[in-house]
């Protein structure tokens, strides 16, 4: 015992571990950790005529109070919250429903359904955005013809072009595309529930509904929580769909502006406004804080509480 312990203490430092860890860590630190920290610091500076000057929280105060900035910022934030709420209320419940149906015992063609429904999720958001833009375009008339054929013709409108409906329409498109993710993750969890548990409850005379609500649902809650936090991060970081369909100006009249597009415009500028890297960094920092707070809340409250239900 003594001997082996001593050899361990005298072992030379394992330099090869840096041979393994070094390259990956170096790239990760240089192109992810450092830029994130640098962005946070940059948000405390102001750049004028090539000189950068420390200004503390001034950029943030400008963002949330200055009349030129604050309305755009609060608008983007509130749109983003709606966008997220829409996904939580629609995407994840539909994903759950599809997963439950897919996991019905002895369902034929289950793998075909799964493969086909997941297909849109694989494609680029940019492509999906354009596809829907064409389909909803009043010029082409596919959606109009379709609505008339099912007797809802009077509801046809240029949904993507109107201030009141553009954000909702884009949310629908996004939900349509990404419903595959909650479906697949929840489906996987449902498959992993041991058959014995389900059989036992059936033998005890539980109805399929009871089995679902009292046995399956608690077991998939951790997955639902994970899906929610993935949705949260993805939604508060969304950019491509709006940019592809509505351009950097997120029209009409900024009604589809999300934090991602707002960040892009702040950083690169648009029309008459000049881009600013320090204001851009301030927007990115706020997005960072929002995402961080969301993730922390998830880790501290939801996940801790949910783990009690795990096997």
Binders of another protein among 94-123, rule CB under 8 A?
97-98, 101-102, 104, 107-109, 111, 113-120, 122-123
Report the b/e string of 235-269 with b at 16+ CB within 10 A. bbebbbbbbbbbebbbbeebbbbbbbbbbbbbbee
The single residue among 148, 172, 267, 270 that binds another protein, judged by CB under 8 A, is 267
Task: Kindly give the interhelix angle for 259-268 and 277-297, rounded to the nearest 10 degrees.
Answer: 160
- Contact between 34 and another protein by CB under 8 A: the answer reads yes
12 counts as binding another protein under rule CB under 8 A: no
Residue 54 or 67: which CB sits closer to another protein?
A: 54
Least distance from another protein to the Cβ atom of residue 11, Å: 11
- Shortest distance, position 216 Cβ to another protein, whole Å: 14
Rounded Cα–Cα distance for residues 34 and 84 (Å): 29
Among 148, 212, 270, 288, indicate the residue that binds another protein (CB under 8 A). Answer: 288
Q: Which of residues 52, 71, 78, 124 is near another protein by CB under 8 A?
A: 124
First to last CA, the chain: 38
Which of 24, 51, 151, 154 lies at the binding interface for another protein (CB under 8 A)? Answer: 24
Q: Rounded CA gap, 163 and 252, in Å? A: 5
Identify residues 57-86 at the interface with another protein (CB under 8 A): none
Least spacing, CB of residue 82 vs another protein, in Å: 20
Q: What part of residues 236-265 is at the interface with another protein (CB under 8 A)?
A: 237, 239-240, 243-244, 247, 260, 263
CA distances (Å), origin 71, targets 194, 251, 303, 304 = 52, 15, 35, 37
* Residue from 56, 74, 93, 130 in contact with another protein (CB under 8 A): 130
Tokens of 268: 């690169």
Nearest alpha-carbon partner for 83 in 222, 223, 267, 242: 242
Among 206, 291, 302, 306, binds another protein (CB under 8 A): 291
Residues 178-237 that bind another protein (CB under 8 A): 179-180, 184-185, 187-189, 191-192, 199, 202-203, 223, 226, 229, 233, 237
Q: Does residue 211 sit in helix, strand or coil?
A: helix
User: Which phi and psi (to 5°) does residue 294 adopt?
Assistant: -60, -45
Choose between 67 and 310: whose C-beta lies nearer to another protein. 310
Name every residue whose Cβ is closer than 8 Å to that of residue 100 and which is 6 or more positions away in sequence: 186, 190, 212, 216
Compare residues 212 and 288 and give the one whose CB is closer to another protein. Answer: 288
How many Å apart are CA 271 and CA 246, to the nearest integer?
15
Residue 132 in the binding site for another protein (CB under 8 A)? yes
- Between 112 and 154, whose beta carbon lies closer to another protein? 112
Any contact of residue 300 with another protein (CB under 8 A)?
no
Number of residues that bind another protein (CB under 8 A): 91
Of 67 and 207, CB closest to another protein = 207
Distance CA 290, CA 250 (A): 21
Whole-angstrom distance, CA of residue 61 vs CA of residue 111: 53
Give the range of 58-66, 76-84, 152-160, 176-184 binding another protein by CB under 8 A: 176-184
């Amino acid at each position: 015992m003594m001997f082996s312990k001593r050899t361990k203490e005298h072992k030379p430092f394992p330099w090869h571990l840096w041979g393994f860890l070094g390259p990956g860590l170096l790239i990760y630190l240089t192109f992810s950790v450092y830029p994130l920290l640098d962005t946070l610091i940059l948000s405390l500076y102001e750049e004028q005529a090539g000189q950068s000057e420390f200004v503390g929280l001034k950029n943030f105060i400008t963002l949330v109070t200055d009349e030129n900035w604050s309305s755009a910022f609060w608008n983007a934030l509130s749109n983003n919250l709606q966008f997220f709420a829409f996904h939580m209320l629609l995407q994840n419940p539909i994903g759950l429903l599809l997963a439950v149906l897919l996991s019905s015992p002895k369902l034929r063609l289950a793998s075909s359904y799964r493969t086909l429904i997941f297909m849109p999720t694989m494609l680029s958001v940019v492509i999906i955005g354009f596809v829907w833009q064409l389909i909803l375009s009043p010029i082409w008339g596919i959606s109009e013809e379709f609505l008339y054929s099912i007797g809802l013709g009077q509801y046809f409108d240029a949904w993507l072009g109107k201030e009141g409906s553009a954000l909702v329409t884009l949310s629908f498109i996004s939900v349509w595309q990404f419903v595959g993710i909650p479906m697949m993750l929840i489906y996987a969890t449902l498959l992993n529930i041991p058959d014995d548990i389900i059989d036992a409850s059936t033998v005890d005379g539980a109805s399929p509904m009871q089995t679902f609500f009292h046995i399956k649902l608690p077991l998939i809650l951790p997955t639902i929580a994970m899906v929610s936090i993935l949705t949260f991060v993805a939604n508060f970081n969304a950019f491509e769909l709006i940019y592809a369909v509505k351009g950097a100006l997120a029209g009409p009249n900024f009604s589809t502006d999300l934090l991602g597009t707002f960040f892009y415009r702040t950083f690169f500028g648009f029309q008459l406004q000049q881009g600013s890297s320090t204001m851009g960094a301030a927007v990115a920092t706020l997005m960072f804080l929002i995402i961080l707070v969301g993730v922390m809340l998830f880790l501290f409250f939801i996940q801790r509480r949910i783990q009690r239900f795990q096997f």
